[in-house]
Amino acid sequence: MSLAYYPGCTLKTRARNLEKPAVASMEALGFKLDEVPRWNCCGAVYSLADDDLIHRVAPVRNLIRVKKQGKTELVTLCAFCLNTLKRANLLMKEDVEKRDTLNDFIDEGIDYSGEVKVVHLLEVLRDDIGWEALSQKVKLPLRELKAAPYYGCTLLRPREVAIDDVEDPTILREFLKALGASPVDFPESTRCCGSYQVISSPDDIAEYARPILNSALSHGAEAMVLTCPLCDYNLGQGQKELAKKQSGFREMPLLYFTQLLALALGLGPQVCHFELNHGSPESLLKEKNLLSQSRSVQPIGG
Amino acid sequence: MYVTISPKRSRREFVRKVKELSGQNLQLCYQCGMCSGNCPAASNMDISPRRIIELARLGLDEEIAGSKTVWTCASCLACAVNCPRGFDLSKVMEAIRLLTLRKNIDHIRPEDISPKQRCELPQIAMVSGLRKFTG
Ligand code: SF4
Ligand code: SF4
């Protein structure tokens, strides 16, 4: 089964370690992630100003291309892209006046009114495949891996685009359980990592990371599971700084959820590109015997 | 911090623009401070998020312009989802940033980002940061 897929800029460069294991895993499960033809950068952040229509052109153009592809659902993987595309989509669905202005301005030959459903890959796993079916595909259960699911901001806020309960999300916990891991809930799992503040105030990033990492560590986590390349960068750089400043501070391996998915499906470390991770997870995974080579999976999708 | 309010000092035009850009009714806020309590950036701010609303609805644009608060906001929306009044403070922060950026006054210069950072940062950091800090 083929799914329209929007990768975004970061997944093609710095965060290939988020994309590659996702593509391989979905293929193993019988789903082809089919890139939207001629996709462009979504703009990374959704403009929060009511009159700023020009910055909505980029995400809307992508959505129009999905419609042209003949698809009704768009799968995203980058948490920033999900947020921007989903908010732009909501605007096109609900605000008639702005929709008309944007449709008049964007010269793509067809009109758009929010017909495409924007989803995150985690939602495909939860809603289309299901945790039970996923767990049956696991070749290498992530037994004894105490992993803390970290959500950050853009999967859950604002409320109208959240992929799960805003206050008490469970999607990553259920995902980890399906892979056989032991999820470690911690209270700071939805606290912001500092986001784009890293470009203007790089020295503040460690202090954004501190409460998040400390909270996960004090609840017994051995690794943190991420969905966003900026969280990976900020928490990874942040903990390096903290380790320099604070003797005894223990750095935590940081992993993308897609890397754990690929390992659990038996696809092996070669699809995971661990060399790009900011918090190096390999020694922990080795210790847990999770780095063995690939095995074949019976696909789910038709 | 004490501020003196007088009809002369208050800037109606500023209040009108903030309302227009943010789409938020500034009078909705009842100053409970939930936003400041949930803000991960509050400790780096000189004026708390709650107080920004108070200053904005009094039209005290100079006090706000002299503060680093709106440039410290990470648009994480923790304030917006936790406000008991359904007020979206992140939009007010954006409106105030834009009132400066649209005068062609940028908050950062791309060339001030270190070459090392430029090589290492994920694209979403560069694009979102430059969107928030330059016009
Ligand atoms: S949480 Fe809402 S009502 Fe309370 S001070 Fe902040 S904006 Fe105002
Ligand atoms: S959006 Fe800005 S003001 Fe609101 S909680 Fe986040 S950093 Fe603080």
Contact A198, A234 (CB under 8 A): yes
Confidence (pLDDT) at B7: 63
Confidence (pLDDT) at B3: 72
Confidence (pLDDT) at A279: 81
Q: Is B55 exposed, middle or buried (0-12, 13-18, 19+ CB in 10 A)?
A: buried
Q: Is B34 close to ligand 2, i.e. is its CB under 6 Å away?
A: no
Confidence (pLDDT) at A248: 87
Point out the ligand nearest to the CA of residue B34: 1
Q: What's the whole-number average pLDDT of chain B? A: 93
Could you read off the pLDDT of B102-113 as tens digits, one per residue? Answer: 999 999 999 999
Is the pLDDT reported for residue B122 higher than 60?
yes
Residues of B in contact with A166 (CB under 8 A): 81
Q: Does residue A95 sit in the same domain as residue A226?
A: no
Residues 6+ apart with CB under 8 A from A247: none
Contact across the interface for B124 and A159, Cβ inside 8 Å: no
What tokens were used for A169?
């999300």
What is the distance in A from the centroid of ligand 2 to the CA of B39?
5
**Which stretches of chain A drop beneath a pLDDT of 50?**
none
Q: Does residue B125 sit in the same domain as residue B92?
A: no
Confidence (pLDDT) at A299: 78
Q: Does residue A26 sit in the same domain as residue A155?
A: no
The domain boundary residue, chosen from A121, A150, A169: A121
Crossing angle (nearest 10°) for helices B123-133 and A79-94: 50
Contact A149, A185 (CB under 8 A): yes
Q: Does residue A32 sit in the same domain as residue A110?
A: yes
Q: What is the CATH number of the domain that holds A49?
A: 1.20.1050.140
Q: Is B32 close to ligand 1, i.e. is its CB under 6 Å away?
A: yes
Element (H, E) at A94: helix A79-94
Q: Does residue A182 sit in the same domain as residue A65?
A: no
Among the partner-chain residues B81, B91, B129, the one whose CB lies closest to the CB of A196 is B129
Amino acid identity of B105? I
- Mean pLDDT value of segment B35-59: 97
Residues 6+ apart with CB under 8 A from B34: B79, B82, B83, B84
Confidence (pLDDT) at A123: 98
Confidence (pLDDT) at A139: 97
Is the pLDDT reported for residue B23 higher than 80?
yes
Number of domains in chain A: 2
Confidence (pLDDT) at B98: 97
Is the pLDDT reported for residue B4 higher than 80?
no
Q: What is the CATH number of the domain that holds B36?
A: 1.10.1060.10
Number of domains in chain B: 2
Q: Does residue B95 sit in the same domain as residue B131?
A: no
Q: Whose CA is nearest to atom 2 of ligand 2?
A: B73
Contact across the interface for A194 and B40, Cβ inside 8 Å: yes
User: What is this structure's pTM?
Assistant: 0.95
Contacts 24+ apart (CB under 8 A), A184-188: A184/A146, A184/A147, A184/A148, A184/A149, A184/A216, A184/A219, A184/A220, A184/A221, A185/A148, A185/A149, A185/A219, A186/A148, A186/A215, A186/A216, A186/A218, A186/A219, A186/A221, A187/A215, A188/A212, A188/A215, A188/A216
Element (H, E) at A33: strand A32-35
Q: Domain of residue B61: give its range.
A: 7-103
Q: Is B91 close to ligand 2, i.e. is its CB under 6 Å away?
A: no
Q: What number is the ipTM of this complex? A: 0.94
Q: Does residue A102 sit in the same domain as residue A197?
A: no
Q: Domain of residue A94: give its range.
A: 2-121
Q: Does residue B112 sit in the same domain as residue B132?
A: yes
What is the distance in A from the centroid of ligand 2 to the CA of A295?
45
Q: Does residue B45 sit in the same domain as residue B76?
A: yes
Confidence (pLDDT) at B10: 58
Residues 6+ apart with CB under 8 A from A93: A99, A113, A114
Contact A192, A153 (CB under 8 A): yes
Inside any domain, residue B2: no
d(CA A297, CA A301): 12
d(CA A100, CA B49): 35
